[in-house]
Amino acid sequence: MATLATQNSARLSNPEFTQMSCEFTQVLMKLQRATHLIASTLELDCVLDRVVNDIASTLGNVEVGVWLRAEDTDEMVLHGVRGCTVHKKGSRLRVGAEGMVGHTAASGVMRYAPDVRKDQYYIACEHSTLSEVAIPLTFQGRLVGVFTASHHELDAFPAEQLRLLQALCSHMAVAVHNAQVFKHERSQRETMTRDAQEARIIQQALLPKSSPYIPGFAVSGLSISAGAVGGDWYDFIALDDGRWGLVLADVSGKGTAAALLMSSTRGMLRSLAEARCSPGEVLTHLNRLLVEDFPSGKFVTMVYAVLDPASHTLTFANAGHLRPILVDDLGARSLDNERGMPLGLGFGSFSEVKVNLPENSRLVFYSDGITETVNPADEEYGTARLQEHVLGPSASEESILADVRSFANGAGLDDDATVIMIRAMQRNS
């Protein structure tokens, strides 16, 4: 024991040993800094550039490279490099076939060549290189890359330094995996955003381009989606004898799925409407088609009407939708009717209601994105507030949506909001 203590004391008092310990501590601290750097960002190429520069500067007089496994081929691709004049970013080596990188990628085991001239896997690179280490980057048993460091001296990497580099590579493998997942998810989000924008363009193209010309009436509509695309839809359909089909619908759900169901519903309804069916018949036939085609649990609420300007009447059928609001000399009121069930849930028929539209009367169709909008106090806009607003002589679809937004106090719309307003104009004497 005394002899061992004496040896340790002599070691610690040796200036050369003290200098080596200080240098090792500095290397350890710098490599620890590199470890923190790796975890500081998800921008992979940026962090790898900084890491290889840090490690190369820390170890001194070395060449450093980080090779990542290609997704589409059985190759390793150089993503970060410092000190090498032969290999550039984008250089490739085949797994299991080329160099210490390819061998390490295939075996998943670190390979250290203290003298590269004697290593069977080493491929000559820099003329001055005499020793090299290749360390696999693995995450949960899966190879994500290979780290390499080369030196111009023989056996330039002591065991302690190799252990430090292996520890660093463990952190690097996690960072590479996280960055790759982040990149993939970001790419997916960008693709979904582009798809949503294209879907929005298509959906907007399915809405009426302008208000129809109907003698004695002014008919207009407006639809605002809460997201890029939505499930609300309205349409004006020219029929025989100057009559017009008017429809406002709300598909269950939101987003692209609702928009797809809305698009298919639109095509079917237009075909039925143009076949000279009455509103009740249109909804009955349409419901049968949707029951057969719609996914389980999906449905559409809809009000479909036929406006006859010759008789100043409007006949509508309602499939689980909100009751239309009529404004005339008696004030504003919701029109009662035997509301049928929403389309797509089960077979059934739909009753019709005929409404007279005298001069200066107004009829409003709307979706629940209007009445169910809440303000900061968690109060709903509601039907009563909508009736009060449409009583105003200057009420319009734009003013309704503006009033709803004002009520929400800038909170925005939680659901798609759609309005159709039908005004019976004053006849010329």
Query: What is the model's pLDDT at position 120?
Result: 93
Q: For 26-40, how does the pLDDT look when each residue is reduced to its tens digit (9 = 90+)?
A: 655 655 665 566 555
Query: What is the model's pLDDT at position 156?
Result: 92
Q: How does strand 213-214 pair with strand 131-139?
A: unpaired
* Gap between the terminal Cα atoms of the chain: 124
Query: What is the model's pLDDT at position 385?
Result: 93
Query: What is the model's pLDDT at position 388?
Result: 94
> 340 near 350, Cβ under 8 Å?
yes
Q: Which residues contact 106 (CB under 8 A, 6 or more apart)?
A: 95, 96
Classify residue 65 by its DSSP letter.
E
How large is the greatest C-alpha to C-alpha distance in the chain, in angstroms?
A: 126
Residue type, 192: M
Residue type, 402: A
> 169 near 138, Cβ under 8 Å?
no
Query: What is the model's pLDDT at position 27?
Result: 57
Q: For 137-156, how does the pLDDT look when each residue is reduced to its tens digit (9 = 90+)?
A: 999 989 999 999 999 999 99
Task: Compute the distance between CA of residue 82 and CA of residue 68 in angstroms, rounded to an integer.
Answer: 15
CA proximity to 303, closest of 259, 367, 214, 384: 367
Task: Compute the distance between CA of residue 327 and CA of residue 357 in angstroms, rounded to an integer.
Answer: 9
**Ranges of the chain with pLDDT below 50:** 1-21, 429
Task: Compute the distance between CA of residue 145 and CA of residue 131 in angstroms, rounded to an integer.
Answer: 20
pTM of the shown model = 0.60
Classify residue 227 by its DSSP letter.
S
- Cα angle 36-79-62, degrees, rounded to a multiple of 5: 70
